[in-house]
Amino acid sequence: MINPFKKTYTTYELRIFNFLSGIRLFKNLTFKEMSYFLPFMHERNFQKDEVVFFRDDPSHALYLLKRGEVLLNIDVNDSFESLTSVKGGNVLGESCLLENSKRQLNAIVISESAQFYVIPQDNIFSIFENHARVKTKMLKELAMMYNEYNSNLFKAYRSSFGFFHLSQIYGKERP
């Protein structure tokens, strides 16, 4: 039997929920929990070679890449080292889930264009304040992502031992 009191969603909302379900930070949220973000998701388009954000910029928004490709790089002295590129269905700027954080990387569009849903940090924090389960689920996923990044870092360190000292990562100077 159909429950007449159960919330129904439009085709547009269901399409967004389907998209969000494919984004790691949102994959464990229910449709109802995802719906809290809908009023704050702004579509934004970028063109080739446009910068989405620079390293050390304040992390004021979460970028959900709908279409296109974005290069992630880091500036080292006067040059840039490419780290990876990401395509539609990925999240950029997940550090905005943490207060007073800054971007760690540069993000530059390398496809002809790129379309994003952008969610301002203030709105995310407001949702977190009012919906503790959403905050818990998303921060748990963020912690898992960061754990994987650390694991990959340690793997790379072991395979290239000697290029840097791990103590630098933990803010300790080498004796």
pLDDT digits (tens, 9 = 90+) for 45-95: 999 999 999 999 999 999 999 999 999 999 888 888 888 899 999 999 999
Tell me the C-alpha distance between 16 and 32, whole Å: 12
Domains of the chain: which residue ranges?
Answer: 11-145
pTM score of the predicted model: 0.85
pLDDT at 76: 84
Contacts of 83 (CB under 8 A, 6+ apart): 72, 73, 74, 105
Look at the chain and count its residues: 175
- Give me the CATH topology for the region 11-145: Jelly Rolls (2.60.120)
